């Protein structure tokens, strides 16, 4: 008799679905539990940490950003964080997949791209260890940006008690489909095709 296996935990289901949404993604061993293969998956020159929730909000934690930055350093990869709001089977909800990179990496990505859609960025700053990101807020911001013929983005800054920026806590987040297009053009993930270029408007 075939024994029934245990159901895959939500986090692993969501991580697997997230990685499938990238071309040529390679998941790490045991979701990054081994020091020689950190992070959750690689996509081109990027090392990803992945976080998903079945709820309507997620607490973006400073420690997640610090962790993936430090893990990316030895391999000289660019750290990235993917945030997803999911259904119970790990599939993303509508307009609910976002990818963040450090602000300086964002500047590098768009440095040579001057045409195409602009990004309407809103800023979130906190001295706390986490900040709450709500799906309805992201969707509202997306609607506002689209109404202005722009793409949505949000700029996160974690600071100390004196409101001085944390060296690892300055990140820009954009929608996953926009990130894929931008990195395709820059050549960081896939072979470049006809350019679809982006810039930010903060």
**pLDDT of the residue at 37:** 56
Three-class DSSP category at 22 = coil
Tell me the pLDDT of the chain (202 aa) as tens digits. Answer: 444 445 677 778 888 888 888 878 887 654 545 354 568 898 989 999 999 999 999 999 999 999 999 999 998 999 999 999 999 888 899 999 999 999 999 998 887 566 657 999 999 999 999 999 999 999 999 999 999 999 999 999 999 999 999 999 999 999 999 998 888 755 565 433 333 233 334 3
Q: Where are the alpha helices (DSSP H) in the chain?
A: 10-20, 62-72, 103-110, 135-147, 176-186
Taking alpha carbons only, the member of 45, 83, 41 closest to residue 184 is 45
**pLDDT of the residue at 23:** 79
What's this model's pTM, rounded to 2 decimal places?
0.84
**pLDDT of the residue at 103:** 95
Per DSSP, what are the bridge partners of residue 101?
A: 80, 172
Listed by start position, the domains of the chain span: 10-201
Measured CA to CA, the distance from residue 143 to residue 151 in angstroms comes to 9
Please, which residues have CB within 8 angstroms of residue 111's CB and are 6 or more apart in sequence?
none
Of the chain, the end-to-end C-alpha distance in Å amounts to 61
Residue 187 backbone dihedrals phi, psi, to 5 degrees: 85, 10
**pLDDT of the residue at 192:** 33
Measured CA to CA, the distance from residue 87 to residue 32 in angstroms comes to 24
């Amino acid at each position: 008799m075939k024994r029934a296996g245990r159901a895959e935990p939500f986090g692993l289901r969501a991580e697997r679905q997230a990685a499938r949404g990238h071309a040529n993604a390679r998941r790490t061993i045991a979701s990054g539990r081994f020091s020689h293969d950190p992070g959750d998956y690689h996509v081109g020159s990027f090392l990803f940490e992945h976080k998903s929730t079945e709820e309507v909000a997620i607490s973006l934690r400073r420690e997640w950003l610090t962790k993936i930055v430090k893990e990316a350093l030895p391999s000289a990869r660019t750290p990235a964080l993917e945030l997803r709001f999911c259904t119970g089977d790990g599939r993303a909800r509508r307009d609910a997949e976002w990818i963040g990179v450090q602000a300086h990496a964002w500047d590098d990505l768009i440095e040579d791209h001057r045409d195409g859609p602009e990004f309407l960025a809103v800023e979130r700053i906190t001295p706390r260890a986490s900040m709450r990101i709500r799906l309805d807020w992201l969707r509202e911001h997306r609607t506002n940006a689209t109404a202005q013929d722009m793409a949505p983005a949000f700029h996160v800054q974690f600071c100390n008690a004196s409101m001085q920026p944390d060296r690892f806590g300055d990140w820009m987040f954009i929608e996953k489909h926009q990130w894929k297009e931008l990195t395709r053009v820059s050549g960081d993930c896939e072979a470049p095709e006809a350019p679809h270029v982006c810039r930010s408007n903060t």
